Amino acid sequence: MRALGSLRLPSPEQTWSHGTNSFAQLSEAVQDNSITAIEADIVMGRDLSAPENDSVVPIMSHPPILESHLSAATFLDEATKGEGTRILTRHTKLDFKHFDAVEPTLQAFKNLKVDGNGRCVYLNADVFQGPGSADVTVPADEFVQKCLDIIISDVSSFSMLLLL
């Protein structure tokens, strides 16, 4: 396993696709060669692409919207390419808005057997109350611990960085 201290940050010169929370936005971002990084928000909500399934799952959306046609699992599948070991196509920032979305999303990512190919996955959560928000939905200590518990064994294959 590679030491955490050896992880290199990507260049700060990135062209971002922000709020990439729909299938159309994601498709556009992965097809546009000028886009080098993708940011998306993750909440627990209804996946409208599977209307027969009323269960609450991690989806790509920003509160207060809790419905989306893009599940986190589909997002991760589309943001990577290849058979067997998947290749991350862009630096990716996952911005968790609900703590309950962290574990299933990171497990899905881990199950894809992703090779970062020199790209980073940034893990971010709103751990402080921001302007206009009623409460903090992601506790900082639990977020960091959950991320470390799930990803620490995979640090050798690609870079995941925690951002608070």
Instruction: Report pLDDT for 157.
Output: 46
For residues 28-51, average pLDDT: 94
Give percent above pLDDT 90 in the chain.
51
Q: Counting runs of H as helices and runs of E as strands, what totals does the chain give?
A: 4, 10
Average pLDDT, the chain: 84
Q: What is the pLDDT of residues 55-69, one digit of tens each?
A: 899 999 999 999 999
For residue 2, pLDDT over 70 is answered with no
Give percent above pLDDT 70 in the chain.
84
Tell me 72's DSSP state.
H
Do 103 and 146 meet the contact criterion of CB atoms below 8 Å apart? yes
Instruction: Report pLDDT for 158.
Output: 46
For residues 130-154, average pLDDT: 80
For residue 161, pLDDT over 70 is answered with no
Residue 8 or 120, more confident? 120
Alpha helices in 34-96 (DSSP H): 72-78
Helix (H) or strand (E) holding 32: none
Q: Give the strand pairing for 80-81 and 91-96.
A: unpaired
Inter-CA distances, 110 with 76, 97, 114, 149, 160, Å: 10, 20, 7, 12, 11
For residue 164, pLDDT over 60 is answered with no
The phi and psi torsions of 9 (rounded to 5 degrees) equal -75, 145
Residue 9 or 42, more confident? 42
